[in-house]
Structures are given as C-alpha cells and as structure tokens.
C-alpha cells in the first residue's frame, strides 16, 4: 500500500516508517520538523535500503494536504504529527488544541474527499485520566487534567463521529503508553530539538555529561517508592504495533492499547539504565509536574487477541538501545 505518514521523521514515526518499509509498503512522509531533524530521513532510507517521498509541511495546512493527496494515490494514513509535551500543553493550551485537533480534522477530511479508507491515529494513554490501573479500552474516559490529553480525546471523538457518518471507513486509535529506546542500529532514536520533555532522552544526556543531573518530578505519589509509575514500551515494539493495526484493519472504529502491561517507577528505570549501561545518573527530587498522574499502565490483551501483537523487548533492551543511540549521536 501507499501510506501517508504524518510526523514520519519524529521519534515514533521514523521507527514506524522503517517497519512499514520492511513490509514493502510505499511511503509518503509529511513533517514540519518542529521537533525532528531532516537527517533522520536519510537514516530511514539507509536502514531500509528504500526510498520515500518527503514533504516538509504542516498538516494543519489544507492546501498542502490537497497537493499531497492529489499527487499520490494514498491508500492509508498513519497520523503521528502533533505536539506532545504534557507540561507545555498546560502552559500553551491554545497552541495544542489548534495543532492537534485541526490536523486530525484536515486529514480525515482529505481522506473522505479522496476515498482513503484506512486511518490509524496516534492516540495516548493520557486519555484515561486518573482511572484505575490497568487501563482497559472500554473504560469511561475521565478528564485528563492537561490539554494534551484532551486533544487526543477530542481527536478520537472526531474520528469516531466521522466513521459513524461514513461506515465504510476503517479507523483505529492506538493508545500507547511510554515509548523509549531506539532502533537497534543506533541510527535513529529520540533526539528532540532543545531540552527533552521525556525521561529517557534526558537521562541519556545526563549519562553522557551533556546535562548535570536528572530531575525526578515528585517522590510523594502513592506508589512503592513514591515516584510515578509508567508502562515503558520499546519504540520498535510500538512501531510493529502500527503495522499490525494497519494490515489487520477492518471496517469500523477500533481502539487498542499498545503497552507491556507492566508498571515501572521512575527510580526503577534510572537504576536499570545505570546497571545495564554501567553509567551513573545523578538525580534530584523536585516538585510534581502539572498534569502528571501517579500510575499508568496498560491491559494490552485486546491487541494480542485481535491483531496478534505483543511486545517482544524488555526494559534492559530499552535502556541499552537508548544509550547506544545517544552515544553515537550529538
């Protein structure tokens, strides 16, 4: 199939592109490079040994999307493009609501016009709010306490309502948890512009000496060691989940969790990274971050049952691959 991948040069998108190319799909990538680097495009090609079509563009730009859809026989869309920092969304809500919801509306509108029936949406476990763990797809969604999570909930609702009005569509929302790690080649990984918002790349930069210490946001949560618990998933497992969803997609509106089903605390992750990579991670406890919750981990049994997908890589591999990428880049 010819697949349009928005945000395809970003952290998760680039790994998904590699997995899609390995499955012999043809790719058109759209990315505005606001939180990614153009060099990743060549690395995707080097890893896969295949070429792709690339557009530097913003997915909220209706005219730019019209150009892409009119020039290419798109058969499916995987929508990664979006702003994703919980803390920043609290500080800049209008930017997040505009970017994340308008891009979804523009894309599904183009799909309807050009009769593209397969649509895979990059959602987030954040939509569950402070539900009881493990999170299950059929739970009522609660307020998330941050605009980022709300933009994902709104986008899911937009897509579900669009499917109800157009039941020939095949739409899947993938609610994933905390992607970490890197491609085993060490050529692509999480390399944000500016200061990292996510734990693993910040930790890797501390290990490398680029930053003095890691900030741990809160040690007074109701968890065994007081730090937040998350479901960390290797980015290549996550990428393979997108391929499974795309290739197994049937008519209808579907929601799947992509996670390991295991919760790991911030301190556990730090100590695992130190142990497997023989490095030291100085850290300091600071106050909680706005919008964060105590625990988040998945019940991923539905994806295994319906898509035949489950994670293959463990926490040690996540830490090793992330460190291999950081050592070889920047």
Quick check: 149 and 107 in contact, CB under 8 A? no
Quick check: 90 and 65 in contact, CB under 8 A? no
Phi, psi angle pair for 21, to nearest 5°: -65, -35
Which of the residues are catalytic? 148
């Amino acid at each position: 199939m010819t697949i349009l991948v928005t945000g395809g040069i970003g952290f998760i998108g680039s790994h998904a592109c590699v997995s899609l190319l390995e499955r012999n799909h043809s790719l058109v990538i759209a990315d505005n490079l606001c939180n990614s680097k153009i060099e990743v495009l060549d690395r995707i090609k080097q890893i896969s040994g295949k070429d792709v079509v690339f557009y530097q563009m913003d997915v909220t730009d209706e005219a730019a999307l019209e150009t892409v859809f009119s020039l290419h026989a798109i058969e499916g869309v995987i929508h990664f493009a979006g702003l994703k920092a919980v803390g920043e969304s609290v500080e800049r809500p209008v930017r997040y609501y505009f970017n994340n919801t308008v891009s979804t509306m523009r894309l599904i509108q183009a799909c309807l016009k050009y009769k593209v029936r397969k649509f895979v949406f990059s959602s987030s476990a954040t939509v569950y709010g402070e539900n009881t763990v493990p999170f299950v797809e059929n739970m009522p969604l609660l307020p998330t306490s941050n605009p980022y999570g709300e933009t994902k909930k709104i986008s899911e609702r937009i897509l579900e309502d669009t499917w109800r009005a157009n039941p020939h569509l095949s739409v899947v929302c993938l609610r994933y948890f905390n992607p970490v790690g890197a491609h085993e080649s060490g050529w692509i990984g999480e390399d944000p512009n500016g200061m990292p918002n996510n734990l693993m790349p910040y930790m890797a930069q501390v290990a490398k000496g680029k930053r003095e210490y890691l900030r741990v946001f809160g040690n007074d949560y109701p968890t065994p060691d007081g730090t937040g618990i998350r479901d960390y998933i290797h980015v290549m497992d996550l990428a393979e989940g997108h391929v499974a969803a795309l290739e197994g997609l049937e008519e209808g509106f579907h929601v799947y969790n992509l996670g390991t089903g295991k919760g790991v605390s911030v301190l556990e992750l730090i100590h695992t990274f130190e142990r497997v990579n023989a490095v030291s991670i100085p850290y300091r406890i600071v106050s909680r971050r706005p919008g964060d919750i105590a625990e988040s981990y998945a019940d991923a049994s539905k994806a295994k049952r319906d898509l035949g997908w489950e994670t293959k890589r463990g926490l040690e591999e996540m830490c090793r691959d992330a460190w291999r990428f950081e050592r070889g880049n920047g």
